[in-house]
Structure 1
Amino acid sequence: MIQSMTGFGKHTLLLPSKKITIELKSLNSKNLDLNARMPSAYREKELLMRKTIADSLVRGKIDFGLYVEMTGVETSSEINEAVVLKYMGQLKSIADGDSIKLMEMALRMPDALKVEKEDIDEAEYKKIEEVLKVALKELNTFRSEEGMVLEKDFLQRITTIKDLLEEVSQMDPGRIDTIRERLEKAVVDLKTEVDQNRFEQELIYYLEKYDITEEKVRLLNHLDYFFKTLKSADSNGKKLGFISQEIGREINTIGSKANYAPMQQIVVQMKDELEKVKEQLLNVL
């Protein structure tokens, strides 16, 4: 079963003096690209939280946010006077302004407020870790639901390519006859005597160049392998991407060998379906 790399998870932890909210957003990326935002007091646990996230999500562009809202008096915030004054001085050097306005702006800057209680104990972190795992579970559920939608689309498009390949197979004998007639007519139009045996040998040579039997067999095998990989237990977007490249290679070869307008039109339809598959595969885990 495939998973999308797009997902969202959010969960909140209520403590006696604070409310901690964890948010996770995921988008597609070739590798794991994790961006973390959290108060400085929680940075000591950042590596542990990053590992927990990486173990669960594997791949994708991940935005992780840990937000703290103080609700109790025992950990009330106070102004970091030295930092605020420094901000005000820097702002005033950029543009003149009223002191009250400058202070309002300075108070919005990082570290303008300091909290009396800065350390987090192990009991609190254990609860945060539990909340993080719940948010990760929500995000993975989201990814699985999105993956089901993608899987349905892939099945439909790969089935369409398989049906078009069947049309190509049915058309192939007539295509060869048309090419043969075209070459024979070209010789007749030359109005010159030719060695019939030599002509037959040359004709067989050219018809072999236009033969697409091997390409049809390989393409069918690649399509069946795509179906099999799509139904495997693990989501493997990279592997599906490699298979789609092989599918594209065989379709292109059939198109270049076709030398027959009706077949080339079918090849264009196959390419169109495959291109849509490739676009969607970029979002598969």
Structure 2
Amino acid sequence: MTGFGRSSGQIQSCLFTVEMKSVNHRFLDIHIKMPKQLLSIEDKIKKLISTYISRGRIEVYINLEGELQSSKTIHIDWGLLDQYTESLQQIKKRFSINDDLSLNHILSLGEGMEIREEALSSDEVEDELIQLAEVAVKQLADMRKVEGEQLALDINKRLDLLAEINADLQNMAPLVVDQYRERISKRVFEFVSGKIDETRILTEVALFADKVDISEEIIRIHSHVHQFKQTLQTKEPVGRKLDFIVQELNREANTIGSKANDGAIAKNVVELKSIIEKLKEQVQNIE
């Protein structure tokens, strides 16, 4: 499901802003973009999000503004500079160079001195930033909940329609056998001049009835629809379970389609599969 959350606040001398948005995904996939000095709390933010969200691609953006965006320090490698200086003195002596050794010579070497950006590791910054992230993820979860409620209404309507088509299939199934009995009786009657072997006809009809019997598939579809509706009522994450139920619905529809020996049944199977395909798409939105 889609959603958006945003929060901001002043922490020490910095203005922090946390934004989150979600799109559909089969699993929980969290991506966080933040300044390098905040990377130490990335795992904590991911853990926080996972307590509210269990499915979807979550993109998190954390920005900060202010003079103290990071703590920068100068790091001097004294051992390396000592070696540089000693080597320069040896070079001067060996080649009889009279130039004085200056600070510019040392600084031009570059590697002996560097500016390091330290992570903001204070507990106060971490705690307050986690609070901002929680405000944003709650907004995100609330928006997803509203969308989920609307989605559930639409899904239930489609499930009711699917149940109606399944009931029609249940009524049609015996008619297929009756029609086959009439056709085969008529053909036999035409070929044997009115003398009909009832036993042979009954055997042929029984074999045909067994071949085209869709009663088990109809019963299972009815059960799957009931399970689907029950699952929608639970408070825990149900997306993956509904994925499985939709797969089973599609399996039963395909089986009925392969057994169908009747135009009307085939037409209903097409409608059945169309609804199941839509359910499959919608289930991807459900946490």
Does residue 145 (structure 1) correspond to residue 141 (structure 2)? The answer is no
Name the CA distance, whole Å, in 2 between partners of 1:53 and 1:198.
69
**Which of 241, 244, 260 is equivalent to 1:242?**
244
- In structure 1, stretches of 5+ residues that fail to align are 78-113
The CA deviation at 1:189 is: 4.3
Does residue 126 (structure 1) correspond to residue 122 (structure 2)? The answer is no
Q: 1:210-257 CA deviation, whole Å, 9 max, x = no partner?
A: 222222211111111111111112131110111111112222222222
The residue aligned with 1:252 is 254
Amino acid in structure 1 at the alignment position of 2:229: F
The residue aligned with 1:93 is none
The residue aligned with 2:225 is 223
2:40–2:119: 8 Å Cα contact kept in structure 1? no
2:39–2:119: 8 Å Cα contact kept in structure 1? no
The residue aligned with 1:276 is 278
Amino acid in structure 1 at the alignment position of 2:208: Y
The residue aligned with 2:184 is 183
The residue aligned with 2:13 is 17
The residue aligned with 2:82 is none
**Which of 66, 84, 89 is equivalent to 2:62?**
66
Amino acid in structure 1 at the alignment position of 2:284: L
1:248–1:274: 8 Å Cα contact kept in structure 2? yes
Give the fraction of aligned pairs with identical amino acids, expressed as a percent: 33
SS in 2 for 1:156: helix
The residue aligned with 2:162 is 161
SS in 2 for 1:200: helix
Q: 1:24-69 CA deviation, whole Å, 9 max, x = no partner?
A: 1111222222211111111122222222223332232111111001
The residue aligned with 2:109 is none
Name the CA distance, whole Å, in 2 between partners of 1:76 and 1:242.
48
2:185–2:196: 8 Å Cα contact kept in structure 1? no
- In structure 2, stretches of 5+ residues that fail to align are 71-114
The root-mean-square deviation of aligned C-alpha atoms, in Å, is 2.6
User: TM-score if structure 2 supplies the norm length?
Assistant: 0.77
The residue aligned with 2:234 is 232
SS in 2 for 1:270: helix
Amino acid in structure 2 at the alignment position of 1:134: V
The CA deviation at 1:191 is: 4.3
1:76–1:116: 8 Å Cα contact kept in structure 2? no
Amino acid in structure 1 at the alignment position of 2:21: K
The CA deviation at 1:281 is: 1.0
2:3–2:140: 8 Å Cα contact kept in structure 1? yes
User: TM-score if structure 1 supplies the norm length?
Assistant: 0.78
Amino acid in structure 2 at the alignment position of 1:254: I
Q: How many residues align?
A: 245
The residue aligned with 1:95 is none
Name the CA distance, whole Å, in 1 between partners of 2:178 and 2:205.
12
The residue aligned with 2:107 is none
Amino acid in structure 2 at the alignment position of 1:265: K
* RCO higher in structure (CA 8 A, sep ≥6): 1
The CA deviation at 1:175 is: 2.5
1:27–1:62: 8 Å Cα contact kept in structure 2? yes
2:21–2:60: 8 Å Cα contact kept in structure 1? yes
Q: Bigger radius of gyration, 1 or 2?
A: 2
The CA deviation at 1:116 is: 8.6
The residue aligned with 2:79 is none
Amino acid in structure 2 at the alignment position of 1:122: D
Could you tell which deviates more after superposition, 258-267 or 127-136? 258-267
